[in-house]
Amino acid sequence: MDASQRPAMPRPVATRVFVVANQKGGVGKTTSTVNIAAALTQLGQRVLVIDLDPQGNASTALSVDHYQGTPGTYELLVEETPLADVVVASEEVPGLDVVPATIDLAGAEIELVSVVAREQRLKRALTNHPRVGDAQTAGEERWDYVFIDCPPSLGLLTINAMVAGAEVMIPIQAEYYALEGLSQLLKTVDMVRAALNPTLAVSTILITMYDARTRLAAGVAEEVRSHFGDQVLQTNIPRSVRVSEAPSYGQTVMTYDPGSPGALSYLEAAREIAQKGASL
């Protein structure tokens, strides 16, 4: 079944803003961001991806220009350029909009250090956009989902994301040491919740790079589920060459190889996220 024939999911009553974070690199954070975002558009949702990682990998995977000087998240945070002026539509994925990240963003944390209310900048940019809100305030044109792809660190960029978002999605790879460093991330979430954003919650944990042939992967998945219960999606994302190849073609696996196990898993994970949201 191609994307256009997939039955649409009901839209959430208001924009859901996800922070995708894990300071441990190589866990499939950006890959999960772009593929779940693309999968949700195939399920009839309107989605915005904000690339908050100076490496710009999400921008690459969504085939959006992010050479130095391209207006994007740096201008949004440091120069307070309105969100509407830095959003571009992804040509690869209909229904998906992107705020690209350039290497300029690497200096943003230093430039923002002395700024008053520096943690609030992304939140203000989102709140002021007419497509963020509920059916009454933002109408039919509203974004249903916003995904903020954070850098693999817990600095000011990630704090900005956590202040702007309501839900945290944590990709965890099914490998030894998977839970290492996670306590620091959860402490940061607690700190932000206490001081800056009381509505922030870890709503979604996604197990990535799952190899069903190994006992280790099953053991890690079991450990993650025993720690986090219902926050963990039932769908595991398998280790997949197709998923890894897709960004080099400026695509997500959802368009690169929509029938592959990786694409079907991300579609199922997106469906779970949408269903869980219906009961929030």
User: What per-residue confidence (pLDDT) applies to 114?
Assistant: 86
Residue 26 has φ and ψ, to the nearest 5°, of 70, 25
Local confidence band at 157 (pLDDT 50, 70, 90 cut-offs): very high
- In the predicted structure, residue 233 carries a pLDDT above the cut 80: yes
d(CA 108, CA 54): 9
Local confidence band at 5 (pLDDT 50, 70, 90 cut-offs): low
Is residue 231 within 8 A of residue 238, CB to CB? The reply is no
- In the predicted structure, residue 172 carries a pLDDT above the cut 80: yes
User: What per-residue confidence (pLDDT) applies to 188?
Assistant: 94
User: What per-residue confidence (pLDDT) applies to 7?
Assistant: 79
Residue % of the chain over a pLDDT of 70: 97
Average pLDDT over residues 218-237: 93
Alpha-helix runs per DSSP H in the chain: 29-42, 57-61, 73-78, 108-112, 121-127, 135-138, 156-164, 182-195, 215-228, 241-245, 253-256, 261-278
Higher pLDDT: 276 or 170? It is 170
- In the predicted structure, residue 35 carries a pLDDT above the cut 90: yes
User: What per-residue confidence (pLDDT) applies to 57?
Assistant: 94
Local confidence band at 74 (pLDDT 50, 70, 90 cut-offs): very high
Per-chain mean pLDDT for the chain: 92
Which of these, 176, 184, 179, lies nearest to 228 by C-alpha position?
179
The DSSP letter of residue 17 is E
pLDDT digits (tens, 9 = 90+) for 80-115: 999 999 999 998 899 999 999 999 999 998 998 888
Local confidence band at 19 (pLDDT 50, 70, 90 cut-offs): very high
Higher pLDDT: 68 or 1? It is 68
- Side chain identity at 261, as an amino acid letter? P
d(CA 13, CA 3): 23
Is residue 252 within 8 A of residue 221, CB to CB? The reply is no
Higher pLDDT: 278 or 82? It is 82
Collapsed DSSP state (helix, strand, coil) of residue 84: helix
Residue % of the chain over a pLDDT of 90: 79
- Whole-prediction pTM: 0.95
User: What per-residue confidence (pLDDT) applies to 3?
Assistant: 52
Local confidence band at 280 (pLDDT 50, 70, 90 cut-offs): very low
- A 10 A CB-CB count for 222 gives 10
Local confidence band at 257 (pLDDT 50, 70, 90 cut-offs): very high
